Amino acid sequence: MLKSKLVKFRLFLLSLSLVILIGFVLVISKINPNISSTVKASGSLTYSALGDSISNPYTVSGMSNYVPVFSNYAATDLSSSVTNNYDSYPGWTSSDLLNAVKTNQDWRIGISQSNIITLYIGFNDLFAARKSYKENTCGGVDNQNCLRTASANFRINYDQILIEIKNLNNNPNLVLRTVTIYNPFVSQDKADGSFTIYKSYLEQVNGYIKNDAQAQGFLIGDIYSAYNGLTGDEDPVSKNLIYTDGNHPNDTGMAVIANVLRALGYSALSPQDTDNDGCPDAKELGSDWKKGGQRDPHNRWDFYDVPTPAITSFNWNLPAGDPARPKMDHAINANDAQAVFAYFKNGAHQGQTTSVNGISYDTHYGYLMGLTNDPNFTDGMFYDRVASADPTQFWKTGSPTSAVTPQAAQLAFSIFSRGGTNCN
């Protein structure tokens, strides 16, 4: 009898333990809902941190690093052990990193086997150009050629880095994160009058990071805003975020980076957009054309969202955040119709000379801004469409024909006037 009661008591304790454990799991899931949609919250995870000195723990004696801090967060949040790969090197530019992810077999294997990947690169791309500009050796009538070249080269390299990472690791649960770069030189540059110029190129690079990373499914941590404020003119040195060398983050600054990454959670890729037209596959497969539906996720041309305002030689290089800088809003509305009309009105066609309003079919400003990942994509192609082959599905536009015609302008207006489409 005593033995029977003891067995029953043990079974009761086991049942109670299971109830408590299940309750604990449910509470944790509510606290961190991203856990359930990412890598399994158990076992061992591999984390690869790609970048320059900011992602390398051996850069400066006495300087901390965000990678082990974020790694510890991930281990805690996901109830897993995490192994860190430091695929980073002091002084590297985007060219250096691109070469490494293409040729370094150890790195390539590490990336292919990773569960979490973060990317922090770009600071050194502009660092040397900034120095040259200050020394008046940057080139060009405005002494900005080297800054333009550095920004354009970063744009090409960064896109290739993202693609290479995706090619190496196609795990659907892969946690991909990248961050914008900060400006530690606010006070220095304001003192000598170079702040506005450097800031404009830095924000251009950050625009590339945001646009390209989003297109490839990376979630983006906005370190620039965390360090420099929403307007980009706050000094991170005065906010005690910069190490004594004047460039790198100190312990507090590194903690900011780690916390920004942690705040993104651990969900996998952002919504898949196979044809990269700004409307996610799930939306295009829906039934409501006004929400992006009844379209083909593999057809780049059936969603007539265009950069607004119309891309010109005068506005493409404006600072990120300037309302006059063209952008995609993932919707078809009055702004799209106006931009298409502007290209038609200026006679946009292949082989044209640039109009007095700065419009040309053959320019590649959209690519330079990061609005497309295809270097062969011209600005006119954004605005050039033909009508749907099925008149009953007028919203499904067709591919470019080499000129923005009156029919294209009418088509954009027709979609907008019948309610438009919003894929957000």
Q: pLDDT of 329-368, one tens digit each?
A: 899 999 999 999 999 999 999 999 999 999 999 998 887 7
Residue type, 323: P
Residue 40, helix vs strand vs coil: coil
What is the rounded CA–CA span in Å between residue 336 and residue 19? 56
Tell me the pLDDT band of 270, cut-offs 50, 70 and 90. low
Q: pLDDT of 201-221, one tens digit each?
A: 999 999 999 988 887 888 999
Residue 41: pLDDT above 60?
no
Q: What share of the chain has pLDDT > 90, as a percent?
A: 65
Query: According to CATH, where is 3.40.50.1110 located in the chain?
Result: 42-263
What is the rounded CA–CA span in Å between residue 188 and residue 291? 48
Q: What is the mean pLDDT of the chain?
A: 85
- Paired tokens of 177: 């994160």
CATH architecture type of domain 42-263? 3-Layer(aba) Sandwich (3.40)
Tell me the pLDDT band of 57, cut-offs 50, 70 and 90. confident
pLDDT at 367 (0 to 100): 78
Tell me the pLDDT band of 25, cut-offs 50, 70 and 90. very low
- Geometric angle at alpha carbon 97, from 247 and 177, rounded to 5°: 75
Q: What is the mean pLDDT of residues 105-124?
A: 94
Within 13 A of 126's CA, how many CA atoms are on the CB side? 25
